[in-house]
């Protein structure tokens, strides 16, 4: 494997690991916001407990996902400086918007939401989690704008050996973006729904005393997975025409073809299963009472994540050998002077860190799920401060 292929493999591995965090963040954020809104309107304590429990899962995933995103940013400067020199004036703009407007705002509003329990007015507190959701979606928008530019450099022109931005609006009407963005957002709902569904099935299978809590959560998970899979598959098929016009050879080749087949198979299988099997069983809570089905739901939980990685491989590998399609090759985008030893060392470091973070994320989420809603730190009432008695000998 030469230096270029090694650098491509490094980015593929680290990008895939980072994407696992992203899809779960995009899926859980609106669910937690809806749960919190229902509690704020109706005052049902069950909705508050659901908000806190699933919100804690979201916070764990978000906190670890931040670090994986930073690793991705490092790679652009270390391994792909040719991309920055040639297309940085265009490609860097949406990345800067994502960092300044979406990422920082999202972190700020999430901090207010985390520490605002029992401190902020109820309406303002709910507004914080909705702003977290909106900024998370804005973050996805700007990232997809940047990625879509690599797929089809719309709105740019070459001057003096560099790409310059000529039409900012063209970045947001890029045919490789229009259907891809809702496809990714729907995949997030699909993944989030499956995590809620699988975790709820785990507790129901163990005959949890929190039966009402997880019966409600199971319903939320299945309905979210139903909506997410429906739109994921629909917007996935909708991309074939626009993407095929821009990149005629997109889906040719062993890797894109295999990954595409895997993604379509999982998508259709899950969609039909959720639509025709699981959703009807929600009537009168038959699914919650069907204990023999719960292990199957747990086993199905990783499927949206597998499909998401397959879809990412189709999108990225399918444009090879171009970094900026038709303008800049991957070989020319690579930082000059890099050796196999350089890439191997950074590959081992980045993959090791991200792999460890993914493992820690899974362990912490699994531990929080096993503990159940009875042991949730997020939103717990502050303990009253009591004055300790003063020893008599100190008077």
The ranges assigned to domains in the chain are 3-378
Rounded to 10 deg, the angle between the 104-115 and 122-151 helix axes is 160
Question: Do 118 and 159 contact (CB within 8 A), yes or no?
Answer: no
**Neighbouring C-beta atoms of residue 267, cutoff 10 Å:** 23
Beta bridge partners of 159: 162
Q: Whole-angstrom Cα distance, residue 21 to residue 365?
A: 12
Which residue in 289, 227, 210 sits closest to 50, CA to CA? 210
**Neighbouring C-beta atoms of residue 251, cutoff 10 Å:** 16
How would DSSP label each residue in 335-360?
PTT--HHHHHHHHHHHHHHHHHHHHH
List of residues 6+ apart from 349 with CB closer than 8 A:
none
Question: Do 65 and 18 contact (CB within 8 A), yes or no?
Answer: yes
Burial class (CB in 10 A: 0-12, 13-18, 19+), 304: buried
Q: Whole-angstrom Cα distance, residue 148 to residue 172?
A: 9
pLDDT given at position 391: 52
DSSP helix/strand/coil, 158 = strand
The 10s digit of each residue's pLDDT in 220-276 is 999 999 999 999 999 999 999 999 899 988 887 877 788 989 999 999 888 889 989
pLDDT given at position 250: 87
- Residue whose tokens read 């949206």: 304
pLDDT given at position 254: 73
User: For the chain, where are the E strands, in sequence order?
Assistant: 156-159, 162-165, 322-324, 328-329
Distances 40 to 55, 122, 196 between C-alpha atoms, Å = 15, 6, 21
Q: What does the chain come to in residues?
A: 395
DSSP H or E stretch at residue 222: helix 211-238
Question: Which contacts qualify for 291-300: CB closer than 8 Å, 24 or more apart?
Answer: 291/204, 291/205, 291/207, 293/201, 294/201, 294/202, 294/204, 294/205, 295/201, 295/205, 297/197, 297/198, 297/201, 298/198, 298/201, 298/202, 298/205, 300/194, 300/197, 300/198, 300/270, 300/273
Task: Give one word for 115, left, alpha or beta, with left for phi > 0 and alpha for psi -120 to 50.
Answer: alpha
pLDDT given at position 54: 97
Check residue 164 and report its DSSP letter: E
Question: Do 98 and 73 contact (CB within 8 A), yes or no?
Answer: no
Q: Whole-angstrom Cα distance, residue 169 to residue 16?
A: 29
Measured torsion, CA atoms of residues 247, 248, 249, 255, in degrees rounded to the nearest 10:
60
Question: Do 340 and 89 contact (CB within 8 A), yes or no?
Answer: no
List of residues 6+ apart from 48 with CB closer than 8 A:
39, 379
Q: Note the pTM of the prediction, 2 decimals.
A: 0.92
Q: Whole-angstrom Cα distance, residue 258 to residue 251?
A: 9
DSSP H or E stretch at residue 110: helix 104-115
Measured torsion, CA atoms of residues 300, 301, 303, 304, in degrees rounded to the nearest 10:
140
- Residue whose tokens read 């139903």: 226
**What average pLDDT values come out for the chain (395 residues) when binned by 10 residues?**
88 89 95 97 95 96 86 79 92 86 86 95 96 95 95 93 93 95 96 97 95 97 95 94 90 82 90 91 95 95 94 90 94 90 88 90 95 89 51 47
Q: Whole-angstrom Cα distance, residue 245 to residue 43?
A: 52
């Amino acid at each position: 494997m030469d230096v270029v292929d090694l650098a491509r493999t490094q980015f593929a591995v680290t990008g895939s690991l980072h994407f696992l965090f992203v899809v779960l963040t995009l899926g859980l954020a609106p669910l937690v916001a809806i749960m919190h809104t229902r509690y704020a309107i109706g005052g049902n304590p069950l909705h508050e407990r659901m908000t806190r429990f699933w919100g804690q899962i979201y916070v764990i995933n978000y906190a670890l996902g931040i670090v994986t995103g930073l690793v991705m940013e490092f790679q652009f400067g270390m391994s792909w400086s040719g991309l920055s020199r040639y297309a940085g004036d265009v490609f860097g703009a949406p990345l800067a918007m994502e960092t300044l407007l979406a990422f920082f705002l999202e972190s700020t509003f999430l901090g207010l939401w985390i520490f605002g329990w029992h401190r902020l007015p109820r309406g303002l507190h709910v507004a914080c989690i909705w702003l977290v959701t909106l900024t998370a979606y804005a973050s996805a928008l700007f990232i997809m704008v940047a990625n879509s530019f690599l797929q089809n450099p719309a709105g740019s022109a070459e001057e003096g050996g560099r790409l310059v931005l000529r039409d900012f609006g063209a970045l947001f009407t890029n045919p490789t973006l229009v259907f891809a963005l809702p496809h990714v957002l729907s995949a997030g709902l699909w993944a989030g729904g499956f995590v809620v569904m699988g975790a709820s099935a785990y507790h129901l299978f163990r005959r949890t005393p929190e039966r009402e809590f997880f019966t409600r959560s199971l319903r939320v998970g299945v309905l979210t997975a139903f909506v997410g899979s429906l739109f994921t598959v629909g917007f996935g098929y909708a991309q074939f025409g626009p993407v095929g016009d821009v990149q005629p050879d997109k889906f040719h080749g062993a890797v894109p073809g295999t990954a595409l087949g895997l993604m379509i198979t999982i998508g259709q299988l899950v969609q039909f299963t959720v639509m025709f099997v699981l959703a009807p069983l929600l009537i009168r809570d038959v699914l919650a009472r069907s204990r023999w089905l719960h292990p199957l739901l747990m086993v199905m939980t990783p499927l949206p994540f597998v499909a998401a990685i397959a879809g990412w491989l189709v999108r990225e590998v399918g444009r090879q050998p171009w970094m900026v399609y038709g303008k800049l090759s991957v070989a020319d985008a690579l930082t000059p002077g890099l050796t196999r030893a350089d890439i191997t060392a950074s590959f081992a470091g980045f993959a090791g860190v991200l792999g460890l973070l993914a493992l820690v994320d899974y362990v912490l989420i699994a531990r929080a799920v096993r503990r159940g809603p009875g042991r949730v730190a997020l939103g717990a009432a502050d303990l009253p401060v009591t004055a300790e008695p003063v020893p008599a000998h100190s008077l």
